[in-house]
Structure 1
């Protein structure tokens, strides 16, 4: 799956004008558990997810049946329940030349998957949220509560604040489109001191 993701990233870089102008549909059945059990590989995947977040890409399985390996992984790791909410805490931090992204995805049984990503360029809070939504979807969550300490991004997603910047509007549309796969989802603003784990992950990778 890592090779497929890298091929998609390289293709997007070479054909950027086409990717920006059209919706891209990717058909793939590679099992996610091989990535999830190797944190270093999964970190690279999240970095590519953020990069590809600029484009309107829809990922579809080649057949209706989910990969058995993914089902086995989810059953053993998190035992997802469609009636229960997953909690996703996200945060980002930046220096002059790089950004750090931190996310903590907590399943209903209380098991956590922590993601930390360093990006050698500047990213927005919208990109951080988009990457977290995609990661939650791939892990198997069907209902999520997304927590961020950014008032701007939470209020824009809730359509309380108006987004005027073109890039901001584009990412908001991508976020809404990606979130449609969930049975239910909401985003809530929380105080910074309640988002400590995600913040620490983001700061950790920036300082490396």
Structure 2
């Protein structure tokens, strides 16, 4: 501003613009909510990345349990060990694990997921490759497909047992717990069997 050429230019513009009665007002601060609304309207979010959900269920003489490991797109792990208070078969425990994985993934905000299970029967029945003839298995399939519709995109894949070791360990730990504790993993609790609340007997004429 001290340079003579710049000062002269400023004086010239001041004289020429003076006839228009221009009034200067400082910009006020933008409220946080207004800025948030503006950004949500103007900026289109990128397609959400896929969350990975590893599930496993186990049934043994000591008890029945479910293990779930959720891995977010940035790589954060969420681990759940759920003890089933009812006696179930191994296949039912596997189905309970899938349901627990679906519900947990939705609770943490995932909209696109890939479920991983080491059970060939369960994964192929959910995909429709194998036919489920047992009434309870049919009810599980209906419940899983209905609940999975909340996601923008989902799928299930079979993986080797050695690649599902963490979920398997959580399921076995939950099954063996006589008293449920929250110290071992992020979430350990008792699981009310889905068949008791949501899977009613299939009518004979259905």
CA 1:120/1:160 → structure 2, altered by over 3 Å: closer, same or farther? same
Question: What's the offset of the Cα at 1:198?
Answer: 0.3
Residue by residue over 1:99-129, the C-alpha shift from the partner in whole angstroms, topping out at 9 and shown as x without a partner, is 0110001110000110001123233121221
Tell me what 1:148 maps to: 117
Question: What's the offset of the Cα at 1:205?
Answer: 2.0
Question: What's the offset of the Cα at 1:178?
Answer: 0.6
CA 1:83/1:162 → structure 2, altered by over 3 Å: closer, same or farther? same
CA RMSD of aligned residues (A): 1.6
Residue by residue over 1:62-111, the C-alpha shift from the partner in whole angstroms, topping out at 9 and shown as x without a partner, is xxxxxxxxxxxxxxxxxx97521000000011212520110001110000
Tell me what 1:130 maps to: 99
SS of match in other structure, 1:175: helix
1:183 aligned to which of 147, 152, 155: 152
Larger RCO, structure (CA 8 Å, separation 6 or more): 2
Tell me what 1:104 maps to: 69
Tell me what 1:165 maps to: 134
Tell me what 2:185 maps to: none
Q: Give TM-score, length-normalised by structure 2.
A: 0.59
Gapped regions of structure 2 (runs ≥ 5): 1-44, 178-206
SS of match in other structure, 1:195: helix
CA 1:98/1:120 → structure 2, altered by over 3 Å: closer, same or farther? farther
1:117 aligned to which of 82, 93, 107: 82
Larger radius of gyration: 2
Distance (whole Å) between structure 1 residues aligned to residue 72 and residue 102 of structure 2? 14
Gapped regions of structure 1 (runs ≥ 5): 1-79
SS of match in other structure, 1:126: helix
Distance (whole Å) between structure 2 residues aligned to residue 119 and residue 126 of structure 1? 12
Tell me what 1:28 maps to: none
